[in-house]
Structure 1
Amino acid sequence: MIARFLLLVSVASTSFITPAAFAQDTTPQPVDPAAETQNPRSDVIVVTARRRQETAQEVPLAISVVRGDSIEATGNFNIVKLQQLAPTLQVYTTNPRNTSVNIRGLGVPFGLTSDGFEQGVGIYVDDVYNSRVAAATFDFLDVAQVEVLRGPQGTLYGKNTTAGAINITTNQPTFHFEGRAELTVGNLNLKQAKAAISGPLSDTVAVRIAMASTSRRGTLFNTNSDRWINEQDNLGLRGQLLFQPGDDFSITLSGDYSKQDPECCGTAFVRVGRTQRALTRQYDALVAAINAANPGRNYAVSRNVYDRRTDLDSSLNAGNKIGGVSAKIKWDVGPGTLTSVTAWRFWDWKPENDRDFTGLSIVSKSQNPSQQDQYSQEFRYNYESQQIDFVLGLFGFKQRIDTQGTEQQGADASRWSLTGAQATDPAILQGLTASNTQYLKADSAALFGQVSWKVTDALTIQPGARINYDKKSGYYQRVVTNGAGEVISCTPTPAAGSTLAAQCGVYQPQISAPSDSAWNFTYDFNINYKVARDILAYATYAKSFKTLGINQNGLPLNADNTVNYDAGTVKPEGVNHYEIGLKTQFFDRRATFNLTAFRTDISNFQATVNGGQFGTVRGYLANAEKVRSRGIEADFKIVASDRFTAYANGAYTDAQYKKFTNAPCPPELSGGTLQPANVPADYSQPGVPGAFSPRQCDISGAGLPGVSKWAFSYGAEINQPVTLLAKEGQVYFGVDGNYRSRWNSNASPSIYTSVKGYALTNFRAGFRGEGFDIFGWVRNALDVDYIETLQVAPGNTGLIAGQPGDPQTWGGTIKFSF
Structure 2
Amino acid sequence: MNRYVKTALLAGAAWSALSTFAMAQDAPQEGVSALDDVVVSARRRDEMLKDVPISVSAIGEERLEQTGASDITALQQQTPNATVQVARGSNSTLISFIRGVGQQDPLWGFEPGVGLYVDDVYVARPQGAVLDIYDVQRIEVLRGPQGSLYGRNTVGGAIKYVTNTLSSDPELTLRGAYGSYNQIDLMAVGSIPLADNFRIGGAVASYQRDGYGTNINTGAEHYNKDVLAGRISAEWEPRDDISIRLAYDRVQDDSNPRHGHRELAGATPAGAVQPSVYDTNAGVGDDNSVMNQGASATIQLDLNDNWTFKSITAWREGDTDTVIDFDNTPAPTLDIPAYYADDQLTQEFQFLFDYDRVQGVAGIFYLDGHAEGAFDTVLGNAGIVIGTAGQVNTESWAGFADVNLDLTDRLHLGLGMRYTLDTKQGTVFRANYLGATRSPILGGTVRAPLLVRTNYTNTKDFTQFTPRIALSYDLTDDMTTYVSFSQGFKSGGFDMRGDAIFTPNTVNGYDPETVDSWEIGLKGALDRLTFAASAFYNEYQDQQVTTQVPAVGGIASFVDNVGSSTFYGVEFEGQLRILDSLSANFAVGYLNSDFEQFLRYNLGTAMYEDISDQVVLQNAPEWTGYLGLTWIGDVAGGDLAVTPSVSYRGDYSQFEFPNPVLDQQAYALVDLSIVWTDPTDRFTVGVYGKNLTDEEYRVGGYNFPGALFDNSIIGYYGPPQTVTASLQVKF
TM-score normalised by L of structure 1: 0.80
**3-state SS of 2:394 partner:** strand
Residue 199 in 1 paired to residue 192 in 2?
yes
More moved, 325-334 vs 64-73: 64-73
Does the 8 Å contact 1:660/1:698 carry over to 2?
yes
Are residue 458 (structure 1) and residue 410 (structure 2) matched?
A: yes
> What SS does the aligned partner of 2:259 have?
coil
Tell me whether 1:444 sits opposite 2:357 in the alignment.
no
Task: Quote how far apart the aligned CAs of 1:480 are.
Answer: 3.9
Distance in 2 of aligned mates of 1:646 and 1:251: 39
One-letter amino acid matched to 2:656: A
Shift of 1:82: 2.3
Correspondence list, 1:275-354, <5 A: 283=266, 286-287=267-268, 298-299=269-270, 301-302=272-273, 304-306=275-277, 308-334=278-304, 335-354=306-325
Deviation at 1:789, TM superposition (A): 2.0
Instruction: Find out whether 1:544 has 2:544 as its counterpart.
Output: no
Structure 1 residues without counterparts, runs of 5 or longer: 11-34, 273-282, 288-297, 418-428, 489-499, 665-673, 679-694
1:126 maps to 119
Alignment of 1:100 onto 2:44: no
1:624 counterpart residue number: 562
**Aligned-residue offset at 1:533:** 1.8
Name the amino acid aligned to 1:787: R
Partner AA of 1:580 in structure 2: I
Tell me whether 1:804 sits opposite 2:713 in the alignment. no
2:700 is aligned with 1:781: no
Cα distance, 1:238 vs. partner? Answer: 0.3
* 1:754 matched residue in structure 2: 663
Alignment match, 2:476: 532
Call closer, same or farther: CA 1:612–1:233 in 2, change over 3 Å: closer
Is 1:660 the equivalent of 2:598? Answer: yes
Paired residue type of 1:523: P
What secondary structure, in the 3-state scheme, does the structure 2 residue paired with 1:134 have? coil
Q: Does 2:328 correspond to 1:357?
A: yes
Q: Where does 1:53-92 land on structure 2 (aligned, <5 Å)?
A: 53-92=46-85
Matching residue of 1:634: 572
In 2, are the aligned partners of 1:261 and 1:318 still within 8 Å (CA)? yes
Question: Matches of 1:486 and 1:223 in 2, distance apart?
Answer: 23
Cα offsets for 1:394-429 (capped at 9, x unmatched):
0000011222333434xxx23xx4xxxxxxxxxxx1
Contact 2:93 2:130 in 1 (8 A): no
Q: How does 1:92-241 map to 2 (within 5 A)?
A: 92=85, 93-96=87-90, 99-108=94-103, 110=104, 112-157=105-150, 159=152, 161-241=154-234
Decide whether aligned partners of structure 1 residues 337 and 158 sit closer, same or farther in structure 2, where only a CA change above 3 A counts. farther
Deviations 1:513-560 (A, max 9, x none): 1320122212111000111222211011123322222112233425xx
Separation in structure 2 between the aligned mates of residue 81 and residue 663 of structure 1, nearest angstrom: 37
Of 371, 383, 392 in structure 2, the residue corresponding to residue 401 of structure 1 is 371
Change over 3 Å in CA distance of 1:511–1:66 after alignment to 2:
same
In the alignment, is the contact (CA less than 8 A) between 1:87 and 1:650 conserved in 2?
yes
Secondary structure in 2 aligned to 1:550? coil
AA aligned opposite 2:653: N
The 3 A distance-change label for structure 1 pair 4 and 733 is: farther
Report what 1:681 is aligned to: none
Residue 388 of structure 1, CA deviation: 0.4
Q: Which residue of 2 aligns with 1:245?
A: 238
Q: Structure 1 pair 70/359, CA: closer, same or farther in 2 (3 Å)?
A: farther
- Asked if the contact 2:326–2:702 (Cα under 8 Å) also holds between the matched residues in 1, the reply is no
- 8 Å contact 2:66–2:674 — kept in the other structure? no
On the 8 A contact 1:265/1:318 being kept in 2, the answer is: no
CA distance in 1, matches of 2:650, 2:437: 50
Confirm or deny that 1:813 pairs with 2:723.
no
Aligned to 1:730: 639
Secondary structure at 2:360's aligned position in 1? strand
Instruction: Look up the equivalent residue of 1:538 and give its one-letter code.
Output: Y
Counterpart position of 1:707: 620
AA matched with 1:349? T
- Which residue number in structure 1 is paired with residue 355 of structure 2? 385
Counterpart residue identity of residue 389, structure 2: T
Give the secondary structure class of the aligned counterpart of 2:50: helix
Counterpart Cα distance in 1 of 2:605 and 2:96: 38
Tell me if structure 2 keeps the 8 A contact 1:338–1:381. Answer: yes
Q: In the alignment, is the contact (CA less than 8 A) between 1:403 and 1:438 conserved in 2? A: yes
Q: Which moved more, 1:227-236 or 1:388-397?
A: 227-236
1:258-269 to structure 2, matched below 5 A, reads: 258-269=251-262
Verify the 8 A CA contact 1:526 1:541 in the aligned structure 2: yes
**Structure 2 counterparts to residues 474-489 of structure 1, below 5 A:** 474-483=426-435
Contact 2:68 2:673 in 1 (8 A): no
Maintained 8 Å contact 2:498/2:559? no
The Cα offsets for residues 624-670 of structure 1, whole Å up to 9 and x where unpaired, read as 11122211111131234441221110101113322103168xxxxxx
Give per-residue Cα distances to partners, 1:179-204, cap 9 Å, x unaligned.
21211101100000111111211112
For the residue of structure 1 that corresponds to 2:311, the secondary structure is strand
Q: Deviations over 1:115-169 (max 9, x none)?
A: 3332221100011000012242232331110000011112222545221111110
Change (3 A) 1:5 1:524: closer
Deviations 1:39-76 (A, max 9, x none): 78546111111122122122111000111233234333
1:585 correspondence with 2:525: yes
1:228 shift after superposition: 2.4
Tell me the equivalent position of 2:499.
555
Structure of larger gyration radius: 1
Report the Cα distance in structure 1 between the residues aligned to 2:363 and 2:552, rounded to whole angstroms: 45
Distance 1:781 1:759, change over 3 A: same
Give the C-alpha shift of residue 253 in structure 1.
0.5
Structure 2: gaps (5+ residues): 15-26, 441-446
| In structure 2, distance between residues paired with 1:787 and 1:484 | 30
Q: State the AA in 2 paired with 1:655.
A: S
Task: State the one-letter code of the partner of 1:52.
Answer: R
Distance 1:555 1:253, change over 3 A: same
Q: Supply the distance in 1 between the matched residues of 2:167 and 2:437 (Cα, whole angstroms).
A: 60
Q: CA deviation at 1:79?
A: 2.7
User: Partners of 1:808 and 1:486 in 2: how far apart?
Assistant: 38
Residue 734 of structure 1 and its aligned partner are, at CA, apart by 1.4
Q: Secondary structure at the match of 2:658?
A: coil
Counterpart amino acid of residue 555 in structure 1: D
Residues 344-398 of structure 1, C-alpha deviations (whole Å, 9 max, x = no match):
00111111121323333323x5222122110000001111122101210100000
Aligned residues of 1:515 and 1:550 also touching (Cα < 8 A): no
TM normalised by structure 2 equals 0.89
- Secondary structure of residue in 2 paired with 1:81: helix
Contact 1:556–1:616 (CA under 8 A) maintained in structure 2: no
Give how far 1:310 is off. Answer: 2.1
Structure 2 Cα separation of the partners of residues 313 and 118 of structure 1: 31
Report how far residue 300 of structure 1 moved: 5.1
Q: State how far apart, in whole Å, the 1-side matches of 2:337 and 2:321 are.
A: 8
Asked if the contact 2:152–2:489 (Cα under 8 Å) also holds between the matched residues in 1, the reply is: no
Contact 2:365 2:398 in 1 (8 A): yes
Conserved? CA contact 1:476–1:552, under 8 Å: yes
Aligned residue identity for 2:311: S
Partners of 1:768 and 1:486 lie apart in 2 by 55
- Which has the higher mean CA deviation after the structures are superposed, 114-123 or 645-654? 114-123
